[in-house]
A and B are shown apart, each in its own frame.
Chain A
Amino acid sequence: MSCEKMEGRILGYLDGRLNESERLDAEKHLAACAACRLRVNEFRAVSGLLDELSVIEPSPEFDVRVHARVAAEPVKESWWAWLRISPRVAFAASMLLLAAIWMGYYQQPQQVQLPWNNPVEADAQMMQDLPVLEDHDVLSNFEPLKDLPGKADDDSDNVPQQQQPM
């Protein structure tokens, strides 16, 4: 291993984060290289010096201020939050809405769909009835049919009086 490569592994070596083969390579190099060995020792010394810095404690007001700032945060309400706030009001509103829908449905005037309500449909119906009307005209003007005896009840005036057998 070169000294340059060793430089890149010094911290990993000191932190114990090299894998087994890397660690063995590093130790082999350090055994043979006094300069790198010195540097490793000095890095270790730096790390030891950094341990000497004291730890400060947050001031007594720190937690109070955090709590105050958190408490001052606006509460995020979801869309359904109002249901949680007042379930009775929500229930009453729902019932009112259902009643309005029900009344609107059953009190609507029932419209009968007649063909003549729609002019287009009425015309179409008349066109379908034309053959019947034509047949009626033919039959009503057919002379031989006029000689036929009519019904007794309603055609009596048109039927000639017959002699009753003695």
Chain B
Amino acid sequence: MVRTDVQLMLDVKAGDEASFELLLQRYRTPLVNFLFRMVRNREQAEDLAQEVFLRVYRAREEYVPSAKFTTWLFRIATNLALNSMRDTRYQKLEVSIDAPVTVNAEDGDERPLDVAEKHPNIEQHLVGDVRVKMIRHAINKLPEKQRAAVLLHKYQELDYTEIAKILSCSESALKSRLFRAYEALRVELAPLVAHQARH
């Protein structure tokens, strides 16, 4: 029988290190991906994910299952990401919102896209990873909290209540934020969206 996150965390609280390892294996990939899409730097994302797990471990004795574990976990991650993005230490590593999208940014190999890639026609969209880069670029252009809301909604599949708690806002404010974010993505990705919507 698969133990729930809360059960695992309570076991960690009771001193079971193996349960912490299970939580680590369960959430290492989602956390690193969420943080990578937030901060746009792989090394920094891994550092922050390590910090998230460390904070979870440090807080084990005070842990009370008053909310879903994922709410707590991603709240820590979101706050760390937002603080980190505002931290001047990482400013030079960040890609400017207005800067061109880079190739192999996931691997830390940053290279500006050329003009043809930046304004591709429909045929070019369908080849290579330019399409993916456009999507990533569109996400990167979102304001921080809209970006966090979209990432939590789309990739973590958290419900509105959870995301609202993570972002410390009301559920109606979250829905409004999500709508504006998806609307911005729709506009930014218009060529791709038009093609996608036709099929």
Contact = CB atoms under 8 A, between A and B. Distances in A.
Contacts of A17: 159-160
Contacts of A57: 29, 32
Contacts of B160: 17
A56 interface: yes
B94 to A, nearest CB: 18
B193 A63 contact: no
Interface string A39-52: 10111111111101
B69 interface: no
B53 A42 contact: no
Interface in A8-52: 8, 10-12, 17, 38-39, 41-50, 52
A65 interface: yes
B32 A70 contact: no
B131 A52 contact: yes
Contacts of A69: 50, 53-54
Interface residues of B, number: 42
B179 A62 contact: no
B154 A47 contact: yes
A42 B160 CA distance: 21
Contacts, number: 100
Nearest to A41: B197
Interface stretch (B3-11, B77-85, B113-121, B181-189): B181-189
B103 to A, nearest CB: 14
A58 B52 CA distance: 14
B29 A42 contact: no
Given A8-B175, A50-B135, A62 B28 contact: yes
Contact of B33 (A48, A56, A65): A56
A58 B49 CA distance: 10
Given A11-B182, A53-B135, A44 B61 contact: no
Given A52-B135, A66-B24, A11 B175 contact: yes
Nearest to B178: A11
Contact of B189 (A44, A49, A65): A49
A55 B29 contact: yes
Interface string B41-83: 0100010011001100110010000000000000000000000
A107 interface: no
Interface of A: 7-8, 10-12, 17, 38-39, 41-50, 52-59, 62-63, 65-66, 69-70, 73, 76
Given A49-B196, A62-B50, 20 more contacts: A11-B153, A41-B197, A43-B182, A44-B197, A45-B193, A45-B196, A46-B182, A46-B193, A49-B135, A49-B192, A53-B37, A53-B135, A53-B139, A56-B106, A57-B29, A58-B46, A59-B46, A66-B24, A66-B28, A73-B58
Interface of B: 20, 24, 28-29, 32-33, 36-37, 42, 46, 49-50, 53-54, 57-58, 61, 106, 131-132, 135-136, 139, 150, 153-155, 159-160, 175-176, 178-179, 182, 185-186, 189, 192-194, 196-197
